[in-house]
A = this chain, B = another copy of it.
Amino acid sequence: MKDTGTLGKAMRLLDLVARAERPPRFSDVLQQSGEPRGTVHRQLSHLVEEGLLEIAADGTYRPGLRLLSLASRAWASADIRTIAAPILAALHEETGETVHLGVLRGQEVIYLDKVESRQSVRMHSQIGRASPVYCTGIGKAALSLLPAEEASRLIAGLRFERFTPSTLASALALEVELEVIRIAGHAFDREEHEEGIRCVAAPFRLPGPDQAAALSVTGPAFRVGQDRLEAWAEAVMRAAKTVEKEAALRLGPLH
């Protein structure tokens, strides 16, 4: 990663707090960051002052509301959602299962939209969430679109965590899987991230340099077997192609 000076250091701390399981206290952050006391303290103070972090009465840090305010703009300008929405809806209609749209950002996948049957209320909590690239259908699919060299470089920088027995938890396993995905044009998630959850995903490019995204159909293992996933693959790939074409048309040519 390139040098982003002071800002980069502050963001690393912000990430640390945002990603923590439970709101960390000063010394938790101190320990995890490895930076000296004075530095961490001042940085956190600045982040709090700016509203990017908040500090509770018990001394624990949590993400600040300023982030919400900033993100609501990011949300509005994510024009790809507008374009993809009808296509996602159609795919949901066809399969009856949950449909996701996500983009590759660094080593993670960020979910931009979701269409599901019942729980439209839960939407907020999912959208905007980041997940690892190596154990999600969308992540693997999007990765397969990058130039091989770039993908390898990204993979080399991953820290693997085993979420389920099926998680691809090594660079080698992921590289092999990618080769399969590149040929097939679609990726499966066989309960690799969450036990009991399967999906099939297809990648597409977005206008702009190295913009890789994917959409997927996800369902519970008890209802969705490998056979159904394979039956849907064609439709998912078709939908991905459609989004890509529409986006190129309306947002400018691909790079």
Contacts and interface: CB of A to CB of B under 8 A. Distances in A.
Interface of A: 1-2, 4-8, 10-11, 14-15, 18-19, 23, 43, 46-47, 49-52, 56-58, 62-78, 103, 105-106, 108, 110, 112, 120, 123-130, 207-209, 252, 255
Contact of A72 (B76, B129, B252): B129
Determine how many copies of this chain the complex contains.
2
B57 A67 contact: no
A255 B57 contact: yes
17 contacts: A4-B49, A7-B46, A7-B47, A11-B52, A15-B70, A18-B73, A18-B74, A57-B255, A58-B252, A65-B74, A65-B78, A65-B110, A68-B110, A68-B128, A72-B130, A75-B124, A124-B127
Contacts of A108: 69
Nearest to A19: B73
A64 B74 contact: yes
A207 to B, nearest CB: 7
Contacts of A68: 71, 74-75, 78, 110, 112, 127-128
A69 B130 contact: yes
Given A7-B50, A77-B23, A14 B207 contact: no
Contact of A208 (B14, B23, B57): B57
Most buried by B among A5, A11, A52: A11
Most buried by B among A65, A67, A105, A129: A65
B65 A67 contact: no
A36 B131 CA distance: 38
A23 B47 CA distance: 25
A153 B135 CA distance: 52
A126 B6 CA distance: 32
B70 A63 contact: yes
A154 to B, nearest CB: 15
Contact of A56 (B57, B70, B112, B208): B208
Nearest to A105: B65
Contact of A103 (B10, B63, B65, B78): B65
Contacts of A1: 49
B77 A46 contact: no
